[in-house]
Amino acid sequence: MTEPITRLRGQHCLNIFVSYQLKERIMELAEKYDRTMADMVRTLIKVGIPVMEGLTEAEERILRDSISLARKLRKVRQMKIEEEGYENDQLKTEL
């Protein structure tokens, strides 16, 4: 049997502060589609979460790829420096 979910009063509520412009846009949407402001905010949050997750994953991937590329470039530069040093050593021994 599953345990009953016990929740404290108000645990499901959020208080957020937004700009007047954002609030006005949400109110206009609510009026336009004949919905309550709370319904519009709930819908916007539900739609916005997957979008935010996608953006965050893309940022993480870009960061990982950038770090990987930087490491590869550093290795290539180090190999070139070592190669030039080796060539200079060979020239010195030939002279």
**φ and ψ of 73, to 5 deg:** -65, -40
pLDDT at 81: 81
Q: Tell me the two tokens of residue 79.
A: 């190999």
pLDDT digits (tens, 9 = 90+) for 7-48: 666 677 888 999 999 999 999 999 999 999 999 999 999 999
d(CA 51, CA 45) in angstroms, rounded, equals: 10
Closest CA to 52 of 60, 64, 63: 60
d(CA 47, CA 44) in angstroms, rounded, equals: 5
Q: Tell me the two tokens of residue 90.
A: 């060979």
pLDDT digits (tens, 9 = 90+) for 57-78: 999 999 999 999 999 999 888 8
pLDDT at 29: 95
Q: Does the reported pTM lie above 0.75? A: no
